[in-house]
Chains A and B, each alone.
Chain A
Amino acid sequence: MTDSPRLVDMTLRDGMHAVDHQFTPDQMADVASALDAADMDVVEVSHGDGMGGSSINYGVSAADTEAYLDAVAPELTDTELSVLLLPGIGTVEDLDLAADHGADICRIATHVTEADISEEHFEYVNERGLEANGLLMLSHMAPPETVLEQAKLMEEYGAEAVYVMDSAGALLPQDVRDRVGLLTDELSIDVGFHAHNNLGLAIGNTLAALDEGAVTVDGCLRGLGAGSGNAQMEVLVGALDRAGYDVGPDLYGVMDAAEDVLLPMLDDDTMPELDNDSLLLGYAGVYSSFLRHARRAGEQYGVDPRDIIVELGEMEVVGGQEDLITDVADRLAHEGAAEADD
């Protein structure tokens, strides 16, 4: 296990889900500047669903990738700049743009069983001389052996690190240990972990991952992020420090970034909490960013968002299938109407 894990702050990426992708470039610059001052290792910037994610399906962002990168890049001194790309949503053209606008790291994410759609993207990132990381989303939906097999594909394509992504916040600590442990044993590249707090386990699961050999882990200031949010960065820094790790970021620095810079940008609606709907994301194993879409559809169709989330879990939907929320809400509304008629 590592003594000094790398911390990746995704307030300006996964955190974008919480604000419906409406951070402005100026707001991003302010948060990035505070994180840089706090010696954050990596800052990730883009639409919540990655570059190219700005869409009716996932939400149109307040600005485009270029504007966000141009706002954030000049604020960073030693902190590295990361972007996210989901093949099928964004393309190599987005990676090209990111490379031209200051990105140091490109993280390429696929569903946990579909790593083989990412080969061309890894090749391109390597060609441009940037660091490529692979992210296996919704890792709870596949057994550890499958996660390993898919991680090996990303290693072969040129990933410098592969992450176990608990995109639904559905993994229990032992599940995290099984997956991360197997990957650290079998891969020659770094292993990372990404938590959501839907079962209240984001910090605990991250500690478990580090204990099993993960060396790079994700979080967001104030626990922003999809669903109930990600691992809360300032808590993570404090807890890792107490656990004896030598962390790069300064505790007071990240606390100030969270409370003085980020918090004034949020309100009761956008600040995620572990409420009933987000608890059910973890319980039913549903992609965390579905939360706000499910609430909106619930309101539009007069359906309990919890019913929508549970049904989506039963359908085994994967990341990117946000449009099916409307379909489910419409169906549940009709079923409800039919029952009322009986």
Chain B
Amino acid sequence: MGVSAAIVGPGNIGTDLMYKILDRSDAIDLERVIGIFPVEESDGLQAAVEEGIGVGTEGVDSVREHADEFDLVFDATSAHVHEQQAPVYDELGLFAVDLTPAAVGPYVVPVVNLDDVVGGTRNVNMVTCGGQATIPIVHAVDRVADVGYAEMVSHIASKSAGPGTRQNIDKFTQTTSAGLEEVGGADEGKAIITLNPAEPPIMMRNTVHTRVAETTDVDAVRDSVSRIAEEIRSYVPGYEVTLEPTVRDQDDVGFDLDGDVVLSTQLEVEGEGQHLPPYAGNLDIMTSAALGTAERIAAQPNEAVVGGDSDD
């Protein structure tokens, strides 16, 4: 039994998500793709038409007009637009999966906290691409050894960073560090992003540094990380740990660790290449996580989670 869905915002992310749903999702029936430009001016809407999906060109008005067709919307617009549209989705009884940095609803990283969140809200936020890649690792370390401090460094190909990211890069670091704490479980989080223009474009790479007690059972951490990576691969096939948690102690760093050690883990995300090239793993992991989230919601036995009414 599938859930009917619409995509609002047929840009790069929205279009990639459309192809992912069509390619590999039995649980999601994509009913409509909605933008704000005429079809002939929108590559994303043209792609939807070619795939035989209904389109809308009036933004939130199209959502209202067709709201009886679907129960869930993927919002891939922008933070500002999502903030305006979230109350409308709610009023129409639609479950919203927010791929923008607006974070009207709680952060969701499917493999970490989805089950805790659904049921309590009808709007979930997908944090950031770097957050989707690294928060699970922090969680995997934290469930074995208490993480006092977690730091993620994300390197993405310049070509895969769109104008939205570039104009508001602080939003990436601030949202991601909040996610490292709230979802990952670190007492303190820090996020760093670099853009690399090398050609051919680099794959999305991430490093996660966690500061843990010297007595930490490193083998148990490695096992925990390996298990969560396997779970992530169920919805992000190109997710690979390239350096398993590696210990650095006081001798290996130039600052005072105060008796702690650093565990550093590196990972790479290769996109599936549906709409975006494989190097754009940063965009791919967002659409994959959003789809994974929607599928998990579709699998919920409780009709109230995704029902036609909002009066539950």
| Range of interface residues on B (Cβ < 8 Å) | 35 or more
Q: Is the CB of A316 within 8 A of B194?
A: no
Question: Chain B's nearest CB lies how many Å from the CB of A97?
Answer: 14
Question: Chain A's nearest CB lies how many Å from the CB of B26?
Answer: 38
Partner among B173, B196, B242, B248 whose Cβ is within 8 Å of the Cβ of A327: B242
On whether A57 and B195 interact (CB within 8 A), knowing A87-B169, A326-B266, the answer reads no
Q: Considering the chains assembled together, what is the distance between the CA atoms of A98 and B174 in angstroms?
A: 18
Q: Is the CB of B167 within 8 A of A91?
A: no
Chain B residues with Cβ below 8 Å from A89 are 173, 192
Q: Is the CB of A117 within 8 A of B166?
A: yes
Q: Considering the chains assembled together, what is the distance between the CA atoms of A91 and B171 in angstroms?
A: 9
Question: Chain A's nearest CB lies how many Å from the CB of B242?
Answer: 7
On whether A319 and B254 interact (CB within 8 A), knowing A116-B166, A326-B246, A326-B266, the answer reads no
The digit string for B28-66, where 1 denotes a CB below 8 A from any CB of A, is: 000000000000000000000000000000000000000
Q: Is the CB of B151 within 8 A of A114?
A: no
Partner among A20, A62, A114 whose Cβ is within 8 Å of the Cβ of B158: A114
Stretch at the interface among B6-14, B204-212, B217-225: B204-212
Chain B residues with Cβ below 8 Å from A55 are 151, 190, 192, 209
The digit string for B236-264, where 1 denotes a CB below 8 A from any CB of A, is: 00000011001010001111100000101
Q: Considering the chains assembled together, what is the distance between the CA atoms of A200 and B253 in angstroms?
A: 28
On whether A20 and B153 interact (CB within 8 A), knowing A57-B192, A91-B173, A119-B167, the answer reads no
State the total of A-B contacts with C-beta under 8 angstroms.
110
Chain A residues with Cβ below 8 Å from B253 are 56, 59, 296
The digit string for B138-165, where 1 denotes a CB below 8 A from any CB of A, is: 0000000000010101010010010100
Q: Considering the chains assembled together, what is the distance between the CA atoms of A141 and B111 in angstroms?
A: 40
Q: Is the CB of B197 within 8 A of A111?
A: yes
Q: Considering the chains assembled together, what is the distance between the CA atoms of A330 and B174 in angstroms?
A: 31
- CB within 8 Å of A: which B264-307 residues: 264, 266
Question: Chain A's nearest CB lies how many Å from the CB of B166?
Answer: 5
Q: Is the CB of B151 within 8 A of A59?
A: no
- CB within 8 Å of B: which A88-112 residues: 88-89, 91-93, 111
Q: Is the CB of A321 within 8 A of B194?
A: yes
On whether A321 and B196 interact (CB within 8 A), knowing A20-B255, A55-B190, A56-B209, the answer reads yes
Chain B residues with Cβ below 8 Å from A91 are 170, 173-174
B198 at the binding interface (Cβ < 8 Å): yes
